[in-house]
């Protein structure tokens, strides 16, 4: 099993020394450099760069940039996505983002983590677990989503939250670690 297959299986893998993974990251960084250096008003070329980088990019995306990721090909984004400045997606595992998702500034989606054991961590080993974000989710400024988390459709993640476990549908969560504050209901809903 190669290092990329280990990562996809959720096993410890060598992210720092494997030539194949390093080559994939270098290719992604070249595209990210081009994207981040292209003027914001040149929307069509910027989106084309992202389409060449990401596994899937739906219709009507807006990326304010800068944007950073590890590989790109593990990221799938639905229609009408909005990302404000400084979005970071560490996509050693699959990241699936639904339709009509809004992401505020300085958000991190982190599929990767490291062993607590210093000896293994110092060997450059890490693990990666997928992240899933449902349709109609709003993620507030400075939110950090950790490996293996799923966020249910219609939920709102309050600014500064650290999301360490799954979030059900249609709730407001906030805090560190993030916890459910209340359902999205009543006056919150259009009608």
In tens, the pLDDT along 99-118 reads 999 999 999 999 999 999 99
List C-alpha distances in Å: 191 to 51, 102, 154, 171: 36, 21, 15, 18
| Spatial distance between the Cα atoms of 64 and 143, rounded to a whole number of angstroms | 17
Tell me what the pLDDT averaged over the chain comes to. Answer: 96
Q: Residue 139: pLDDT above 90?
A: yes
Pairing, β 87-90 against β 108-110: parallel
Helix crossing, 19-37 with 43-53: angle to 10°?
Answer: 170
Q: Residue 191: pLDDT above 60?
A: no
Q: Would you call the peptide bond into 102 cis, given omega within 30 degrees of 0 as the criterion?
A: no
pLDDT over 90, % of the chain? 93
Q: Residue 186: pLDDT above 80?
A: no
Active site residue 80: no
pLDDT of residue 190: 63
pLDDT, mean of residues 167-178: 98
In order of their start, the domains of the chain are: 3-188 (2.160.10.10)
In tens, the pLDDT along 16-64 reads 899 999 999 999 999 999 999 999 999 999 999 999 999 999 999 999 9
């Amino acid at each position: 099993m190669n290092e990329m297959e280990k990562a996809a299986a959720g096993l410890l893998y060598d992210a720092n020394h494997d030539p194949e993974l390093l080559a994939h990251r270098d290719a992604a960084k070249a595209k990210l450099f081009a994207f981040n250096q292209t003027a914001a008003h040149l929307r069509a070329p910027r989106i084309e760069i992202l389409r060449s980088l990401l596994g899937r990019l739906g219709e009507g995306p807006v990326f304010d940039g800068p944007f950073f990721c590890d590989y790109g090909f593990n990221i799938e984004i639905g229609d009408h996505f909005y990302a404000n400045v400084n979005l970071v997606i560490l996509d050693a595992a699959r990241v699936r983002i639904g339709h009509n998702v809004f992401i505020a500034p300085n958000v991190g989606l982190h599929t990767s983590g490291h062993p607590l054991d210093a000896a293994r961590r110092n060997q450059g080993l890490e693990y990666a677990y997928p992240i899933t974000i449902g349709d109609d989710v709003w993620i507030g400024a400075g939110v950090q989503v950790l490996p293996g988390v799923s966020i249910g459709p219609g939920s709102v993640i309050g600014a500064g939250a650290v999301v360490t476990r799954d979030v059900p549908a249609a709730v407001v969560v906030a805090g560190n670690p993030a916890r459910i504050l209340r359902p999205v209901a009543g006056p919150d809903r259009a009608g």
